[in-house]
Amino acid sequence: MSIHSSLRTAGKAGGALRNVLKRHERVRHMMTQGAWTEGRSALGLPKIKQMKLKARKAAAKEKEETAATAAAPAAPSSGSS
pLDDT in the model for residue 15: 59
CA–CA separation, 76 vs 78, rounded Å? 6
**Tens-digit pLDDT profile for the chain (81 aa)?**
888 888 877 665 555 677 778 888 888 888 898 888 888 888 888 888 877 777 677 766 777 777 777 766 655 666 665
The count of domains in the chain is 1
DSSP state of 55: -
In a domain, 39, yes or no: yes
Query: Could you tell me the residue range of the domain that residue 26 belongs to?
Result: 15-52
In a domain, 81, yes or no: no
pLDDT in the model for residue 72: 63
In a domain, 29, yes or no: yes
Long-range contacts of 51-57 (CB under 8 A, 24+ apart): 52/17
In a domain, 21, yes or no: yes
pLDDT in the model for residue 58: 72
In a domain, 44, yes or no: yes
